[in-house]
Chain A
Amino acid sequence: MSWGRLRQLEGQALRALGGVGAWAGVLMVVGVLTLGLNASNSQGKAPSAEAVLAHAMSVHDAAMARDHAWVTTRRALARAQDLLDAGDESASLLAAQQALQSAQASLNQADVEAESWPARVPK
């Protein structure tokens, strides 16, 4: 499975769920990513740690721009970068995947909260 196809599936999953099942959406994204990466591995086309890290950073930046970035993402990104610098590709890939999942969840939170915060205002 190509990385582009993976992103397409991820987008479809999010659109299918809309803002209703936010956390279910996050879980589905994680599932799609995991299955996709496994499938990619079996075909010998695993995305590089560098590519996943770059993607995770861009999603994290998008969450930052909306004041919704997470500390866990920041930590996982730093860990992935350190491991990459140290030449440990597989460990870096794992950390980058964790960062990506966390960043996607934070961005999903931004989407959900943009709609749901008014319900909490005292009336």
Chain B
Amino acid sequence: MLNRLMIMSLLLAAASLRADPPSDLKAFRAFFEQRFANIEIDDHRDGAYALDAAKREQWLSMEDFPPYEIAIEAGEALFAESFADGSGYADCFENSGIGVKQTFPRFDQAAGAVLTLELAINQCRQAHSEAPLAYASEAMGALSAYMAYTSRGETFAITVPPEGLAAYNAGKAFFYARRGQLNFSCAGCHVTSAGGMLRAEILSASVGHATHWPTYRLKWEQVGSLHKRFAECNEQVGAVGLAEQSPSYRNLEYFLSYMNNGMTLNGPATRK
């Protein structure tokens, strides 16, 4: 019996490791389409507010005067500022940095690692002899909020080249592995239990989790990154949260964003 279980476990592991990103995406979306048959898959970009009418109404009324607006304006001003050498952020990105968020994160072939938008912003600064910004800083939040805003309405188009497959799989393993003293995985709450309740909160679906960042969270009282949320989630289940832009969180963002391919970007957003 024990041997059978071990063989089954190994077969499952082999099957999952063999699965390619498009197959993963298809199965992932199908899971949520089946779980939430009455909700359009793209509506999950609004998280728990797609699942509960009363909460959605409260959230929509908040959107009349969205608290992230200040960050967008500050980010636009920062984005337009020139560096000391006369260049600027627009010189570092395709399409002058406007409407590019949907292609991040991407696999950087030269670095052999995942490149997020925040990392690209700092690489741009350093390439022009500017000091990098702290990832949790207001300036980084504002710049990424502005760049996300210019991508509103675009659809996620994350690619995984053969060289990026290891990073994608590492992110996938992180997503499904349980951690912390409470023994929870990202998937435990946001796949298996999506739509259920955790105390007074509705657990949102993972599909749509990457579309709206950075986000103004009321408990943070500022715009923050997806990595900040990863760390917060990890700490909530008793796992030590990782640093923003750590390789593991970049891989996780890579996997999660790929799972959001085809969905409409709607960042920045507001969450409790």
Contact in complex: B239, A71 (CB < 8 Å): yes
Nearest B residue to A73 via CB reads: B240
Q: Inside 8 A of B185's CB, which chain A residues have their CB?
A: 113, 117, 120
Contact in complex: B19, A121 (CB < 8 Å): yes
CA distance A112 to B172 in the complex (A): 16
CA distance A65 to B152 in the complex (A): 37
Q: How large is the interface on B (under 10, 10 to 19, 20 to 34, 35 or more residues)?
A: 35 or more
Q: Inside 8 A of A68's CB, which chain B residues have their CB?
A: 179, 239
- Tally of A-B Cβ pairs under 8 angstroms: 79
CA distance A71 to B174 in the complex (A): 18
CA distance A109 to B13 in the complex (A): 17
One of B2, B27, B240 near A69 (C-beta < 8 A)? B240
Q: Inside 8 A of B187's CB, which chain A residues have their CB?
A: 120
One of B28, B181, B191, B248 near A72 (C-beta < 8 A)? B181
A67 within 8 A of B: yes
One of B16, B172, B179, B242 near A113 (C-beta < 8 A)? B179
Contact in complex: B238, A72 (CB < 8 Å): yes
Nearest A residue to B241 via CB reads: A71
Contact in complex: B181, A102 (CB < 8 Å): yes
What are some 12 contacts across the A-B interface (CB < 8 A)? A67-B248, A69-B239, A70-B239, A73-B240, A105-B181, A113-B178, A117-B173, A118-B12, A118-B14, A118-B17, A119-B13, A121-B27
**Residues of A near any B CB (own CB < 8 A):** 20, 64, 67-74, 102, 105-106, 109, 113-123
